Structure 1
Amino acid sequence: MTSILIQGGNVLDVDSLTFTAADVLIENGLISRVGPNLSAPAGAETIQAKGLTVMPGMIDCHTHVVASQLNLGQNAILPNALATLRAVPILSGILMRGFTTVRDAGGADFSLAEAIRTDVIDGPRIFPAGHALSQTGGHGDFRQRNDLIEPCACSLKVGNIGRVVDGEDDVRLAIREEIMKGATQIKIMASGGVASPNDPIHFLGFSEKEIRAAVEEAGNAGTYVMAHAYTPRAISRAVQCGVRTIEHGNLVDATTAQIMKEHNAFMVPTLITYEALANEGAGLGFPAESVAKIEAVRGDGKKALEILAKAGVKMGLGTDLLGALHRHQSEELKLRADILGNGMTLQQATLVGAEIIGMTDKLGIIKAGAIADVLLVDGNPLTDISCLLGQGEHIRTIIKDGKTYKN
């Protein structure tokens, strides 16, 4: 593997939120040294970074990379090859926006993650959840109301972000299957949602026994459960059953935030998806019944950030975008920075994301021994977050696993 010496950049320490003028040496896919006046080994590629910010690749902790259209019911019935091929440009776009790692919250599987790892296609490193678990009629069940509810073949379809399971035994079997197929964490639907047809936001997903069974099975495999949940009741219930990360959480209140803090649970808000859906969803085929649900959660999302920050709940960055809306991914940074400040937002997109996926000191940081995911940015994101927005226009260089994907 080619060595790379990045010379003369302003290295951003996302922990202390300070800059140091230093060189960064990358060898064998890892950052080997950070410091002044480093020497390049024989044959090394040299990248001049004077005047540029050198920062870690960002982490999006809530994506659906196989969701190539807004109507998830239609996405769910795509032929598997077509659903997979449609994910390829989505993955490339994510990487070019500076997100070198994603935690997929339903849909992506081992095959996509392996295709990227082995350079069959370009994209971010994927931590896949496989198919998310939904009860009958829950947020992952896209069957329409009918006289007869036929068995769901969703676990066999790449384009379906979820699978339907009911009862403790079926939950355990489904988790064992998803783990065997390569899931690195388990996703459950613990409340109603926006994009599915039959579950109002206030619905609870799964019984407490089913949730505890999911947590136990994930723990037996050395991993954890992430849960889609909006309301205080759904959030507190999931956390008290052992769920480690709550997804969305728009309607969280101060009492529930304190419960999350006491249980060391993480929140992964996804503000940008509601803004994008509200502005463009109807015109892009988002189902009418789902459009009607957007305002029930959109308005409280920003307030939730303030509540969670005040309680000291750690937040990862997530986006949850679908179809043509994936291009808005970076705007999540701006929405958060306007409320929490640039520094905290950058930490959520790097350090906290790495902690959530179990890669502390390996991802989301520029230091010796870390995986070489590095961005060279024309601008200072601590003072102007706009240098990270758009489609990566101000990101001059993107390095992932020690390989240059943009320079």
Structure 2
Amino acid sequence: MKRSTARAERTTVNGSPVVLHNARLIDGTGAPPVVDGALVVDGPRIGWCGPAEHLPDGPELRGAVRVDLGGRTVCPGFFDVHVHFALPGPAGSPAAGVGEPVSYRVLKVLDRLRTTLHNGVTTARDLMGIDAGFRRAVAERRVEGPRLLVAVAMLSQTAGHADFRLPGGLDGLEAAVALPGSPGNIVDTVDEIRARVRALVAAGADCVKLATSGGVTSPHDRPEWLGLRPEMVRAAVEEAAAYGGLPVAVHAIGEAGIAAAVRSGVASIEHGYALTDELRAEMAARGQFLVPTLLETMAEPDPARVPPAVYEKAVRWHRTAQESFARSVDAGVRVALGTDAGLTAPHGANLRELGLMVRFGGLTPLKAIRAATADAAELCGVADTVGSLTAGRTADLVVCGTDPLADIDSLGDPRTIHAVVKEGRVAIDRAGVLRDAGLPGLVPQR
């Protein structure tokens, strides 16, 4: 991400900074909240943040616009490090994409991006389904959405989690989700996976997504099966490190797949339902992240719409996930918020994950917020620019009408998200709290 001076990019109507005061500040680092805080938005960046009594009284703030937030809480913009914007969630069926023009599928993605941003997620990592063009369109403010990091594809071997080829010859994943020109998902040799990782780098991927275990929804496998051989995982990690130092995120549910991923040095285990104490200790020692995707486990698939085998897998493994998470937290495994939104979890409900992390993992609300902000930013490699309310960081802010430390579940209700600011620009202002701030809208009127 490019750095640029706030002075050169000031975007307020009158060119002056904006002081948000009479606010409770939760900065994302895990530090205690500042009950009577103030924050300075200076163009696209945070100019200052801290107790209101220490607010600087120098020439740089003379003429600043001052906005009283009436005791509302300000958090950093939240992350969801595991989403699938190309998938519809419970609002539809991925199979519908087979009969839709690509242009129509793209337009539906734009709506999901907007909804996710408006509900408090200012950075999202899409782990299969959209390409670098969406990232560019959001970065250029052509469309509304969270800042994007994209994996483009998900790699597994034949009969693995990325293999949705059906008996009639149709590749369900490619037909319903993939965009024309995207690198394929199936790799069966070490040489193939090396070449495919390079193709993903060429396609603009920000990270590499592998599937080392079977999955709940995939037709040919089971979560306890090894979905990608260890030598192939090691080759992918090596190539990703050599080509831009890309992190590797791994769908891994069963023990065999988790072990192959952890011991190959990946950055994050996505799901990690069957983690053992030994593997937890290894992850903690390596500093690897767990992305538990608890929200995805809260809704069972409709038995009338899925094969019996898929329904049975979902019931079993979702319970395992919920029972496993607390042991991972207790073992010191680092955690980042991800929801798998688009699969069974709905787009825009991402922050419900916070309450589930507290409920199933025993995290304090403060630690859950850190997992969704500063720690998630570290996993994504962007902690030097976003993820906390720190002077010099990008002004990504969520203004909420509740105290999330007293009621963490409230952040999952869009009505409590009173305003969202991204890069110093207002994405949504439901409560009108920023109407007098002079901050511009996110997407310019053309």
TM-score, structure 2 normalization: 0.83
Show the counterpart of 2:280: 257
Show the counterpart of 2:235: 213
Q: Which runs of 5+ in 2 are unaligned?
A: 1-10, 430-446
- 2:88 & 2:222 partners in 1: Cα distance? 24
Q: Is the 8 A contact 2:76 2:389 kept in 1?
A: yes
Q: Is the 8 A contact 1:72 1:195 kept in 2?
A: no
Compared CA separation, residues 290 and 152, structure 1 to 2 (3 A):
closer
2:133 corresponds, among 111, 114, 118, to 111
Matching residue's letter, 1:23: A
Compared CA separation, residues 207 and 313, structure 1 to 2 (3 A):
same
- 1:104 & 1:76 partners in 2: Cα distance? 21
Show the counterpart of 1:316: 336
Q: Secondary structure at 2:39's aligned position in 1?
A: strand
Q: Secondary structure at 1:25's aligned position in 2?
A: strand
- 1:44 & 1:162 partners in 2: Cα distance? 52
Runs (4+) of structure 1 exceeding 6 A deviation are 148-152, 159-162
Q: Secondary structure at 1:13's aligned position in 2?
A: coil
Matching residue's letter, 1:139: H
- 1:153 & 1:18 partners in 2: Cα distance? 46
2:192 corresponds, among 155, 170, 175, to 170
- The alpha carbon displacement at 1:341 in A equals 2.7
Larger radius of gyration: 2
- The alpha carbon displacement at 1:45 in A equals 5.3
1:33 corresponds, among 48, 61, 67, to 48
Show the counterpart of 1:385: 408
Q: Secondary structure at 2:274's aligned position in 1?
A: coil
Q: Is the 8 A contact 1:190 1:234 kept in 2?
A: yes
1:396 corresponds, among 414, 418, 426, to 418
Q: Secondary structure at 2:215's aligned position in 1?
A: coil
Q: Secondary structure at 1:164's aligned position in 2?
A: coil
Percentage of pairs with the same residue: 29
Matching residue's letter, 2:350: Q
Count how many residue pairs are aligned between Structure 1 and Structure 2: 402
Compared CA separation, residues 52 and 34, structure 1 to 2 (3 A):
same
- 1:265 & 1:370 partners in 2: Cα distance? 25
Compared CA separation, residues 44 and 18, structure 1 to 2 (3 A):
closer
- 1:326 & 1:155 partners in 2: Cα distance? 18
Q: How does 1:280-319 map to 2 (within 5 A)?
A: 281-282=302-303, 285-286=305-306, 288-319=308-339
Q: Secondary structure at 1:174's aligned position in 2?
A: helix
Q: Which runs of 5+ in 1 are unaligned?
A: none
The answer to whether 1:227 aligns with 2:242 is no
Q: Secondary structure at 2:82's aligned position in 1?
A: strand
Matching residue's letter, 1:13: D
Show the counterpart of 1:158: 179
Compared CA separation, residues 137 and 317, structure 1 to 2 (3 A):
same
The answer to whether 1:143 aligns with 2:165 is yes
- The alpha carbon displacement at 1:182 in A equals 1.2
1:51 corresponds, among 71, 77, 93, to 71
Matching residue's letter, 2:22: G
- 2:183 & 2:357 partners in 1: Cα distance? 26
- The alpha carbon displacement at 1:124 in A equals 0.6
Q: Is the 8 A contact 1:102 1:127 kept in 2?
A: yes
Matching residue's letter, 1:359: V
- The alpha carbon displacement at 1:149 in A equals 8.6
Compared CA separation, residues 11 and 328, structure 1 to 2 (3 A):
closer
Q: Is the 8 A contact 2:24 2:33 kept in 1?
A: no
- The alpha carbon displacement at 1:303 in A equals 2.1
Compared CA separation, residues 231 and 5, structure 1 to 2 (3 A):
same
Greater displacement, 31-40 / 186-195: 31-40
The answer to whether 1:333 aligns with 2:354 is yes
1:92 corresponds, among 99, 114, 121, to 114
2:204 corresponds, among 182, 200, 207, to 182
- 2:64 & 2:179 partners in 1: Cα distance? 41
TM-score, structure 1 normalization: 0.91
Q: Is the 8 A contact 2:160 2:227 kept in 1?
A: yes
Matching residue's letter, 1:303: E
Compared CA separation, residues 249 and 180, structure 1 to 2 (3 A):
same
- 1:336 & 1:152 partners in 2: Cα distance? 30
Matching residue's letter, 1:145: P
- 2:18 & 2:94 partners in 1: Cα distance? 42
The answer to whether 1:67 aligns with 2:67 is no
